[in-house]
Amino acid sequence: MPGQPDSPLCVAVLVKQVPDSAEIKMDPRTGTLIREGVPAVMNPDDRLGLETALALKDSLGALVTALSMGPIQAVDVLSEALAMGADRGVLLSDRNFAGADTWATSFTLGRALERLMSQGPLDLVICGRQASDGDTAQIGPQVAEHLGWPQVTYVERLEVEGRELRAWRRLPGLVQKVLCPLPAVVTVLATPQAPRWPLVDRLLWACREAAPLEVWDAADIEAPAARTGLKGSLTRVVKTFSPKGQRVTQWLEGTAAEQSQALLAELRGHKLI
């Protein structure tokens, strides 16, 4: 349900909790990520998405809801989002959501966005460009498809005027300015200013019981078990491994001139020169 022209802009920001490590641990048996015991943080691109939404709050009085799907400890990223300035946090947590591929994840997030729309207007969904662990950059476009809304990806700057969005998309070697009607989904890869820090007093408020944080399960969003988590996933990770670098040493014989010629021939043969 899009907002009326005179009502505040309503923005949902998708925020994922990711492992705080370059070395993602995998379960070799199932090929899935092991999240237990790994320190977790807010996905860096989602910090940019949140900053984009909070800049709209500063300039237009937008109402900002942060939405995350994950285990119960993912509530921490929502507390952080509240401390940065979000008005409301919603965590989607249910055993049935575990093991989701991007298809099941975007279905679940899409259902939650529909529930938000049943409670009030929603004009804009902001996602990060990609998550630092899954790294697919599929969720934003899939959520847009689920909602049937237009999408603008790779956004580095955003303005809203009335019912229209102006977005600057950063592409290799160029920036594209795009106009798009609301409601819409955008994925963000940069912001004009660095993401703000959480405020200590807001952090204390966000960790209190009365904080506007909710946990929704599968029943709350009327998500059938067959469409969520591992059961609802259309893809399976069949194998996970670290690629091994291979070094081959080749000795060149002959005089210096012959070795130089042989070296040049090798480099040309591998199309390196």
Ligand X SMILES: Cc1cc2nc3c(=O)[nH]c(=O)nc-3n(C[C@H](O)[C@H](O)[C@H](O)COP(=O)(O)OP(=O)(O)OC[C@H]3O[C@@H](n4cnc5c(N)ncnc54)[C@H](O)[C@@H]3O)c2cc1C
* Residues found near ligand X in the complex (CB under 6 A): 14-16, 32-33, 43, 45-46, 49, 68-70, 99-102, 105, 109, 127-128, 130-131, 133-140, 230, 235, 237
| Cβ nearer to ligand X, comparing 31 with 254 | 31
Cβ atoms of 137 and 187 closer than 8 Å: yes
Cβ atoms of 167 and 190 closer than 8 Å: no
| Cβ nearer to ligand X, comparing 89 with 140 | 140
- Tell the smallest beta-carbon distance from residue 78 to ligand X (Å): 10
| Cβ nearer to ligand X, comparing 9 with 77 | 77
Q: What tokens appear for 91 in the block?
A: 């965590």
- Tell the smallest beta-carbon distance from residue 195 to ligand X (Å): 13
- Tell the smallest beta-carbon distance from residue 228 to ligand X (Å): 11
Q: What angle do CA 72, 74, 80 make, to 5 degrees?
A: 135
DSSP 227: G
- Tell the smallest beta-carbon distance from residue 151 to ligand X (Å): 12
How far apart are alpha carbons 68 and 93 in whole angstroms? Answer: 9
| Cβ nearer to ligand X, comparing 189 with 262 | 189
How far apart are alpha carbons 17 and 152 in whole angstroms? Answer: 23
How far apart are alpha carbons 183 and 122 in whole angstroms? Answer: 7
Taking Cα atoms as reference points, which of 107, 61, 105 lies closest to residue 87?
A: 61
- Give the three-state DSSP class for 30: coil
CB atoms within 10 A of CB 135: 10
- Tell the smallest beta-carbon distance from residue 250 to ligand X (Å): 38
- Tell the smallest beta-carbon distance from residue 267 to ligand X (Å): 38
- Tell the smallest beta-carbon distance from residue 115 to ligand X (Å): 15
| Cβ nearer to ligand X, comparing 46 with 123 | 46
Q: What tokens appear for 28 in the block?
A: 């070799």
Place of tokens 């070799």: 28
Query: Cα–Cα distances in Å, from 107 out to 99, 112, 234?
Result: 13, 9, 12
How far apart are alpha carbons 16 and 273 in whole angstroms? Answer: 44
| Cβ nearer to ligand X, comparing 3 with 229 | 229
Taking Cα atoms as reference points, which of 100, 99, 81, 83 lies closest to residue 91?
A: 81
| Cβ nearer to ligand X, comparing 91 with 160 | 91
